[in-house]
Chains A and B, each alone.
Chain A
Amino acid sequence: MSLWWTILQTALEERLVYRGDFALGTLMRFLPIITQIFLWYAIFDSIGAVESKPGSEIQAVQIGGFGFREMVAYYLVTMIARAFSSMPGLASGIALQIRDGEIKRYLIQPIDLIGFLLLNRIAHKLAYYAVAIAPFALVFFLCRDYFVDGWPPIHVLVAFTASLVMGFLIGFFLEAAIGMIGFWFLEVSSLLFVYMLFSFFLSGHMFPLSLLPDGIESFVNFLPFKYLAYFPAAIFLGKIPAEELPTEMAIEALWLAFFIIVCRTAYARGVNRYSGYGG
């Protein structure tokens, strides 16, 4: 146990070295949201009333169940979801370790590769949140008017937190499994790029998945990508009906179990296939 604690601590220190640069970089990441706000305003504006005026008959326009303000709030919440589920460099790192033989270390030493990487990633994320919370809080404070319903009820917040944690784990095991492909193919970078493209679109990072035409939406809903961005945001904004929430969470847990198994199996098979030479 103390071994794992040391690993966690070292990784934390490693990540906190460049905190100023980090905080600024995080703030910059919100810049594209400005464009999104104006784009969606223009879109809603051309359909009809952007906001419903109190006392008048005119109803505010909704697209895919989202009003203008909710749409902006959606993009903001997906930023949080992505902060949990995105795993920069994980798959390519594993593939690189396989290629240059560094993976031998984990075969000799009594450390489990996946466990080590997971802890490293947790430490990375913790350090990231410790620094990024300030820019995130600033932006969310400035944008508080876009959250029309205010804070969601407590059970929704619990579900939201659980979906973020599961989103993190699904992201981790999914990308680690992709990295394991490195045991079979030496070069996975172009494959990774294709995966990133798809996940950008299918996770709901680009736009809420409920905007998709019905046939495609039900198909995309069946895929696991939505847990990386769309699902947590939809929970937070109350777009998942309360009676469906437990089932949806259970399905997410099943997907998580599925990816843990896939990742473990791929690693076990890969190690069997692997032959390390020299030292």
Chain B
Amino acid sequence: MNASSTESVRPNYWKVFLTFARNSLVRDMTFRVNFFLQCISSVGWTLMNVGFYLIIFQYADTIGEGSGWDRDRFFLFIATTWFINSLVQAFFMPNAQEFSELIRTGGLDFALLKPIDTQFLISFRRIDWSALSNFLAGMVIAGVSLHGLATQETDPMIPSLGSVVLYLVFVACGVTIMYSLMICLSATSIWLGRNQTLYNFWFYITNFSRYPMEIYNHGLGKPLYGFFTFVIPVLLVVNVPARLIAKPVSPRTGAEWMLVGWALVATVLSVCVSRWVFGRALSSYRSASS
């Protein structure tokens, strides 16, 4: 057997991914009214949140005394949350839910037999295109708040090219951390047999990532701050990219750069851990009786 024939047996992951994406789009477009209603309700949810924060800023100038998260910067933070959550919900959430179902029904057998990496197969099979409407909503929020920051009277701010590049890199890191967490959570359903509360648990954990991390940094919040920065690094997911672009504190401090560096390390670590947990979980999979 020569090298070229082994090459042809190996699947082209990018092509497989594109096929998954196309299939999902076809499926979503089959029930078009449902698709649009889903988009409308996600946008409704966004509007409600924006309304809530606008009400808060009627009363307060910043979130947290001296933290620098004023209205426009905080909305940039919210936009970042929306970007990351919409990507996770579009690409990983439907698959994680389906994974639990595959284990319960024994359908995972078929995934294991396919000549492709199992984690890849079960992570990307289904894409929920309607969740990307929140990505667009995030872009609108980001656009408005960037405009607000650029045109404000006292020290207008336009992010430099460098910070935009860093922002994109760390948004990707954030998505990766979230993905790893989700894989770990859904792998537990191999051991538990069924994991219906997956979504709830996910919601409760990621709830901690939704606000600037400074709010936890006093009194009883310190253990939480440490735990969600160093053990389960969800606090880094939105905070690091949002800080890089919105610069609530300027000039930057050494501690902030350490946080950025730690976010990179945490991303690599969480991918490794999730890969390891997933492998361990697969090896204890016993299939369902048929």
Contact = CB atoms under 8 A, between A and B. Distances in A.
A56 B218 CA distance: 23
Given A34-B224, A212-B55, A46 B41 contact: no
A43 B60 contact: yes
A39 B210 CA distance: 10
Given A34-B224, A35-B211, A190 B41 contact: yes
B34 A200 contact: no
B63 A46 contact: yes
Given A35-B208, A194-B44, A207-B55, A45 B64 contact: yes
A85 B44 CA distance: 22
Given A31-B207, A42-B215, A201 B63 contact: no
Contacts of A197: 41, 44-45, 48
Interface residues of A, number: 29
A212 B48 CA distance: 12
A211 B54 CA distance: 11
Nearest to B218: A41
Contacts of B40: 194
Contacts of A193: 37, 41
Contacts of A207: 52, 55
A153 interface: no
B163 interface: no
Contacts of A43: 56, 59-60, 63-64
B232 to A, nearest CB: 13
B215 A25 contact: no
B284 interface: no
A46 B201 contact: no
A190 B37 contact: yes
B60 A28 contact: no
Nearest to A191: B37
A34 B205 CA distance: 11
A46 B201 CA distance: 31
Given A32-B207, A190-B37, A46 B62 contact: yes
Interface residues of B, number: 37
Given A32-B204, A46-B62, A38 B216 contact: yes
A211 B207 CA distance: 22
A28 B200 contact: yes
A213 interface: yes
Contact of A47 (B60, B66, B201): B60
Contacts of B216: 38
Contacts of B212: 42
Interface in A1-54: 25, 28, 31-32, 34-35, 38-39, 41-47
Binding site secondary structure of chain B: helix
A207 B56 CA distance: 10
Contact of B221 (A28, A38, A64, A213): A38
Nearest to A21: B197
B60 A46 contact: yes
A201 B51 contact: yes
A64 B15 CA distance: 55
Interface in B212-245: 212, 214-216, 218, 221, 224
Contacts of A47: 59-61
A206 interface: yes
Interface in A174-195: 190, 193-194
B67 interface: yes
A63 interface: yes
B38 A190 contact: yes
Contacts of B38: 190
B283 interface: no
Nearest to B45: A197
Interface in B35-81: 37-38, 40-41, 44-45, 48, 51-52, 55-56, 58-67
Contact of B48 (A41, A44, A201): A201
B183 to A, nearest CB: 21
Give me the 9 closest cross-chain CB pairs, A-B, nearest first. Answer: A42-B64, A190-B37, A42-B215, A31-B204, A38-B215, A45-B65, A46-B62, A46-B65, A201-B48
Interface of A: 25, 28, 31-32, 34-35, 38-39, 41-47, 63-64, 190, 193-194, 197-198, 200-201, 206-207, 211-213
15 contacts: A32-B204, A35-B207, A38-B224, A39-B63, A42-B64, A42-B215, A43-B63, A46-B66, A47-B60, A190-B38, A197-B44, A200-B48, A206-B52, A207-B52, A213-B55
Given A38-B211, A42-B65, A212-B55, 16 more contacts: A28-B201, A31-B204, A35-B207, A35-B208, A35-B210, A35-B211, A39-B211, A41-B215, A42-B64, A43-B60, A46-B60, A64-B59, A190-B37, A194-B37, A197-B44, A200-B48
